[in-house]
Every structure is written in C-alpha cells, then in structure tokens.
C-alpha cells in the first residue's frame, strides 16, 4: 500500500496538471502511461504511448477515453478499442450519456469530431482553434459549449448536438492585422519585464523559494548594468502558467510596469497540457506579442529549454516541445524580433542534463546564468529609438537643429546623414548647418553596440524663421 501511495504521489507530481472530475475520478501518469484514478486508486492504465485518459460514468458503466501517440499517428481509444486515428493532434476527449446512449467528442485541429447514434459529425471552427469543450443536456437534448481562441481572445460558442446539417455560420477566419510597432517614448527606456512561468520566477532544486533569487532576472540585470548601463529587470513570472493564462494578465502587467521591453518566455507548461492543441499555443503567443507591440513595448522572444523528466522521453510530449520551439523561431522571424534561443544553447552542451538543469524542467545555477547571457546577447541587437521632438529653426543665416534622444543607457550618439555618408555628432542634441546643406538630411541614433535607429527626415517646412 505504501508503494502504491508513493507511486500515486510521484505520478501527480509528474503530471503537473492532474484534473479531478466530479471529485471522484482524476487523470494523471503512472509508469510512463496515462492513468485514471478513482479516489486515489488506479482503475485504468493507458497503453504504451498514451498521453491522456479520462473516465465518464454512463448509467452503471464507465466510459474510458484514451489518447495515444505512436509512430507519428494520434489515436482515440474508447474502452481500449480504436475509435479514430489522425495524423493531426487529438485533444480534449469528452463523453456524455443521454437517453441511454453516449456521445463522444474529440478535438482535431480546427474542428471537433462528434460520434453519436452510430454517426460521425463535425463542428467546424468559425474563427480560430477550439478548446475547453463541455457536453451538456438541455432537457433531454445534448449540446456543446466551447471556446475559440483568436489572438488570445476567447470567444464562447454553443452548438446543438447533433450539429445542423449545414453550419449556421460560414467558417470565417478573421485576419487580425499585426500592428506596426510604434515608439512609445513615455515608457522607461531602461526597464525590462521578465514575463513567463516558473522558469522566469526562478524555481529549481525542488523549490521556488530562494533567497537570494537564483533565476535569470537578477543575473541579467547585473549583465545589463555592466555592458549597457543602469538597467532594471522586473520579475513577472508565475509558476505553472500556460499561455492562455498569460494572455489574461499581459495587459495589466504592461500598464503597471510601463517598461520599454518585455522578455517573453512562455510555453513550458503548454507542453504537458493535452487539453488543447499546438494551434492554441500559437494563437496565444501571437496575442502576447501583438498586445505588447500595440502598447509600444518592444518584444524579445525566446525558445523553451529542454527538460529531463518523464515528459522529455514520452513521444507525444517530446514532439510537442520540439513543435513549440520551432513555432517560437518562426514567430521571431515573422515579427522581426530578437530571439534568445535557449533550446539550442542548452542542447549544444553535450552534458546539458547534468550541468544546466537542476531537476525535471528547471535550470541549475549554471543554466540560469546561460539564459541571462543569451537574453543579453539578444537585447544587444536592439537598435535605439530614433531621435524625436526635432525642431528646425532659421537664425543668423543658419539652420539650427535640436532634438531629444530615446534615453537608453547605452545611447552613444547621433549621426547626421546624407545618401549614406554620415557625420558623427556624438552625444550632442543640437547642430547648426548652412541652409543649402539641409536637403535630403536624415538624423539617426546609435548605441554602444553600433546599432543604428531608423532615420528621421529633417524637413524645414515646419521650421521657424
């Protein structure tokens, strides 16, 4: 009995997201397989390659649903019998009893597949990926509630079952334009928000309470103070957070901190979450990026770190981690964002499991230091803000220019340029030129690393004489 209790505790720790249903049944992992527990006792063990298992009462019987990933194929099993196979990720299986019958639903990409009365129906996405399905009864008629995710917005839906022969709405994929980044000079130019989960918070060695903190934010702050100048890195990590939860707090964090930069390290807990597909993670990451850019906060993106717990060796979860890393690299290119590629930095070390991780998915001291260094490398590629508040005034036969800089600690100076030829003005904030030299002039800022800002055109049409 002691061994059983110990195994159960270990499985719940490994699962990280065990969910109770009706207070009686729960799902978790045991001996590398998905398991259903009844009041703490395992009553259903999934097959090899299982990544999700659930139990649903149906009269005097139990319906066991299992998701399995093997040899690149996803499968839904009902009471151990194959029910559906797909080359695309399956998620969120549910069951419901009505009039002595059962309805079974499972998510696959941008639709739910419903099996009832011996027939197969589909519920198509109207906007984005679907998640959080709930089967309910209105009287004796079943219906489906779920949410669609669109750039981090959660849109509630309700569909009768079986669904209408023709969808009530045509599938519409609303394209949300990526907002162009605007230079918000009111934000603190030397403040960085570290936004993420327990890895950002600074957990490791079996606890999240370390004094002094062991995570990357204080280490990065020291590096930036030395290489760039006085800087502040605020830790806004929340242990256990998934990307949909990050969406719910991002706006508040941006408003509270008023920082010019945000470091996004999200997705680690999405890896072990089989309630929603990779497409939900993508929509939420896009939402985090676009909300930050819309606020005028510049984004530095990162990839996930590898892990050495059971999830690293389970094919489904391993594949999901690799897919999220590829997604983060893709988003960095698409949005032209600096990328701290932690996955590559860790796995380039042949002894990364022993040297860079303290436990399952949390870095060691050396691992956190490596993360801080990779953040610093990415930050050093960011160009300064362009000069602003430019005034052009004629007086004494000359044109007098005045401007303000972006306020970065590593601001090195300004360049007065024409057709690619530039005069280095150093840290001067004013300059005078003969009127005939005004044509086609541009002003740029540059920093210690040699990064140049976008140019601003000097136009005398708004000047004063």
Domain of 326, CATH number, reads: 3.40.50.1110
pLDDT 10s digits, 178-215: 556 789 999 999 999 999 999 999 999 999 999 999 99
Q: Are residues 225 and 369 in the same domain?
A: yes
| Half-sphere exposure for 373 (CA within 13 Å, toward CB) | 8
Domain annotation covers residue 100: no
- 301 with 449, same domain: the answer is no
Q: Of 178-182, 253-257, 443-447, which range is least confident?
A: 178-182
pLDDT computed for residue 127 by the predictor: 82
* pLDDT at residue number 1: 33
Nearest to 236 by CA among 214, 273, 262, 210: 262
pTM: 0.90
Question: Secondary structure of 74-88 in the HEC alphabet?
Answer: EEEEECCEEEEEECC
Residue 59 banded pLDDT, cuts 50, 70, 90: confident
If asked whether residues 216 and 352 sit together in one domain, one would say yes
CATH of the domain at 450: 2.60.40.10
User: Which of 341, 359, 379 delimits the end of a domain?
Assistant: 379
Q: Are 189 and 232 in contact (CB under 8 A)?
A: no
- Indicate whether 426 belongs to any domain: yes
Q: Is the pLDDT of residue 281 over 60?
A: yes
CA distance 142 to 127: 23
**CB within 8 Å of 328: residues ≥ 6 apart:** 267, 285, 301, 302, 303, 304, 339
The residue among 357, 379, 401 that closes a domain is 379
| Number of domains the chain contains | 2
Question: How far is Cα 258 from Cα 250, in angstroms, rounded to an integer?
Answer: 12
Both 252 and 363 in one domain: the answer is yes
Higher pLDDT, 367 or 139: 367
- The answer to whether residue 289 is domain-embedded is yes
User: Where does the pLDDT of residue 12 fall: very low under 50, low under 70, confident under 90, or very high at 90 and above?
Assistant: very low
Is 174's pLDDT higher than 90? no
Q: Is the pLDDT of residue 462 over 70?
A: no
| Same domain membership, residue 437 and residue 349 | no
**Considering the domain boundaries, does residue 86 fall inside one?**
no
For residues 405 and 370, state if they share a domain: no
CB distance 183 to 386 below 8 Å: yes
CA distance between the termini of the chain: 92
Model confidence at 175: pLDDT above 80:
no
- For residue 71, tell me if it sits in a domain: no
Spatial neighbors of 350 by CB under 8 A, at least 6 apart, are none
Same domain for 362 and 232: yes
Question: Residue 13: pLDDT above 50?
Answer: no
pLDDT digits 0-9 by tens, 90-127: 999 999 988 888 899 999 988 999 999 889 999 988 88
Task: Provide DSSP, 156-184.
Answer: EEEEESSPPSS-SS-------PPPPP---
Q: What is the mean pLDDT of residues 300-311?
A: 97
Copy the structure tokens of residue 265: 């390290």
DSSP letter at 278?
H
| DSSP label at residue 62 | E
Determine the Cα–Cα distance for residues 115 and 106; give it in Å rounded to an integer.
9
pLDDT at residue 19 greater than cutoff 50: no
Pair (213, 262) in one structural domain: yes
Q: Do the domain assignments include residue 82?
A: no
User: Alpha helix locations (H) across 112-240?
Assistant: 198-201, 216-227
Range of the domain at 341: 188-379
| pLDDT at residue 383 is higher than 90 | yes
Which H helix or E strand runs over 188?
strand 188-196
Q: Edge to edge, what strands does the sheet with 81-86 contain?
A: 50-58, 61-70, 73-78, 81-86
Residue 230 and residue 306 share a domain: yes
Query: Per-residue pLDDT for 327 more than 50?
Result: yes
134 within domain boundaries:
no
Instruction: Point out which residues pair with 299 in neighbouring strands.
Output: 262
What local confidence, expressed as pLDDT, does residue 126 receive? Answer: 81
21-25, 71-75, 215-219: least confidently modelled range: 21-25
Supply the mean pLDDT for the chain: 89
CA dist 102 to 78, 142, 161, 360, Å? 11, 10, 12, 39
Q: What secondary structure letter does DSSP report for 276?
A: S
Same domain, 306 and 328: yes
Query: 386 with 406: CB under 8 angstroms?
Result: yes
Q: What burial letters (b/e) apply to 305-334, b meaning 16+ CB within 10 Å?
A: bbbbbbbbebebbbbbbebbbebbbebbee
Is the pLDDT reported for residue 317 higher than 70?
yes
pLDDT at position 11 over 60 = no
| Gap between the Cα atoms of 64 and 365, Å rounded | 43
Q: Are residues 416 and 374 in the same domain?
A: no
Does residue 122 lie in a domain region? Answer: no
Whether residues 268 and 347 fall in one domain: yes
Last residue within a domain, chosen from 330, 357, 379:
379
């Amino acid at each position: 009995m002691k061994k059983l209790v110990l195994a159960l505790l270990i499985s719940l720790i490994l699962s990280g997201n065990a969910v109770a249903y009706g207070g009686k049944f729960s799902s978790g992992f045991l001996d590398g397989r998905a398991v259903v527990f009844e009041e703490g006792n395992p009553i259903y063990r999934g097959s090899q390659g299982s990544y999700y298992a659930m139990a649903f009462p149906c009269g005097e019987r139990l319906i066991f649903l299992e998701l399995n990933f093997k040899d690149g194929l996803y499968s839904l099993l009902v009471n151990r019998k194959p029910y559906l196979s797909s080359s695309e990720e399956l998620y969120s299986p549910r069951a419901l009893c009505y009039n002595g019958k059962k309805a079974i639903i499972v998510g696959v990409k941008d639709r739910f597949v419903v099996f009832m009365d011996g027939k197969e129906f589909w519920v198509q996405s109207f906007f984005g990926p679907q998640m959080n399905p709930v089967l309910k009864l209105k009287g004796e008629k079943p219906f489906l509630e779920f949410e669609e995710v669109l750039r981090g917005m959660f849109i509630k839906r309700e569909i009768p079952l079986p669904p209408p022969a023709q969808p009530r709405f045509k599938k519409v994929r609303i394209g949300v334009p990526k907002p162009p980044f605007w230079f918000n000079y009111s934000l603190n130019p030397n403040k960085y928000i570290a936004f993420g989960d327990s890895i950002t918070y600074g957990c490791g060695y079996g606890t999240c309470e370390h004094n002094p903190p062991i995570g990357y934010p204080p280490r990065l702050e020291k590096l930036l103070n030395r290489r760039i100048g006085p800087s502040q890195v605020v830790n806004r990590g929340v242990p256990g957070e998934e990307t949909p939860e990050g969406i719910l707090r991002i706006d508040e964090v941006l408003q509270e901190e008023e920082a010019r930069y945000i470091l996004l390290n999200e997705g680690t807990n999405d890896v072990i979450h089989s309630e929603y597909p990779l497409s939900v993670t993508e929509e939420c990451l896009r939402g985090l990026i676009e909300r930050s850019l819309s606020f005028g906060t510049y984004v530095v993106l990162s990839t996930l770190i590898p892990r050495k717990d059971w999830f690293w060796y389970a094919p489904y979860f391993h594949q999901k981690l690799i897919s999220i890393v590829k997604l983060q690299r893709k988003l960095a290119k698409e949005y032209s964002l600096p990328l701290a590629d932690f996955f590559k930095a860790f796995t380039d070390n042949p002894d990364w499991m022993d040297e860079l991780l303290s436990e399952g998915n949390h870095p060691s001291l050396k691992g956190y230091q490596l993360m801080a260094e990779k953040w610093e490398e990415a930050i050093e590629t960011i160009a300064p803000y362009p000069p602003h508040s430019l005034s052009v005034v004629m007086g004494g036969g000359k044109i007098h220019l005045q401007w303000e800089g972006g306020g970065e600690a590593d601001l090195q100076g300004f360049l007065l340029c024409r057709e690619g030829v530039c005069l280095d003005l150093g840290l001067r904030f004013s300059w005078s030129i003969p009127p005939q030299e005004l044509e086609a002039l541009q002003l740029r800022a540059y920093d210690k690393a040699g990064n140049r800002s976008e140019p601003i055109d000097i136009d005398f049409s708004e000047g004063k004489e």
